[in-house]
Amino acid sequence: MTEVPPQRRPGPPAEAEGGAALPASSRRRFLGGFLAAAGLLVAGGEAQAAAPRRLPAERRLAIIHPQAGEAFSGVYYADGQYLPEQMALIRRILRDHDDGSLPELDARLVDLMARMQRTIDTTEPLQIVSGYRSPATNARARRRDGRVARNSFHMHGQAVDIRVRGRSLSQLRRAALSLQAGGVGTYPNRDFLHIDVGPVRSWG
């Protein structure tokens, strides 16, 4: 299956779980530096400035990986900076649970999850269905389903699939679309919503 980069495709992507990621040379990064030891991409407000809903100065997030029994709930950003220990915990929860590999986590994804939680007005954690996927895991998923993108945003720490107790898939979709922060894919047969920090688009 030949994939077309999202920015050139007028309609929804044909592939499952989030579409193709942009080449590294064209991916926009926030202003700021790397928390290299933690494998985190962090930055200031470039993407937020274009977003309809800003985050507060102190940013909170609650996520859980039900299968692994791992969770995080608390502040991950304060005093103008991402908190390394908390971001490392989030990164670990979003790891590839098939082979244990850790993502180079894009901080925009963490902010997007926090904004989603605020938008749907819930204290329930976001349930992580799928976070980072290593190249090997993505290749296996692609063999099972040819719609899986060869260069998925999941492989770059820029996408997550979620559910939230007490919120319907349609409620999650409306919230994600209102943020205009990246890709939004709806998977009713598997009961999850895909969100990523790539080009604004939607499918499903």
Residue 24 lies in a domain: no
Lowest pLDDT segment from 1-10, 13-22, 112-121: 1-10
CATH number for the domain harbouring residue 37: 3.30.1380
Residue 101 lies in a domain: yes
Residue 134 lies in a domain: yes
Residue 194 lies in a domain: yes
For residues 105, 111, 114 and 115, what is the CA-based torsion angle, rounded to 10 degrees? Answer: -140
Residue 100 lies in a domain: yes
Cα separation of 86 and 188, whole Å?
A: 32
For the chain, percent helix, then strand, then coil, each to nearest 5? Answer: 30, 25, 45
Residue 107 lies in a domain: yes
pLDDT over threshold 50, residue 180: yes
Residues listed for the chain: 204
pTM for this prediction: 0.77
- At 77-104, the pLDDT tens digits run 999 999 999 999 999 999 999 999 998 9
β-bridge pairing 192-196 and 105-106: unpaired
Our count of domains for the chain comes to 1
Range of the domain at 190: 32-199
pLDDT over threshold 80, residue 203: yes
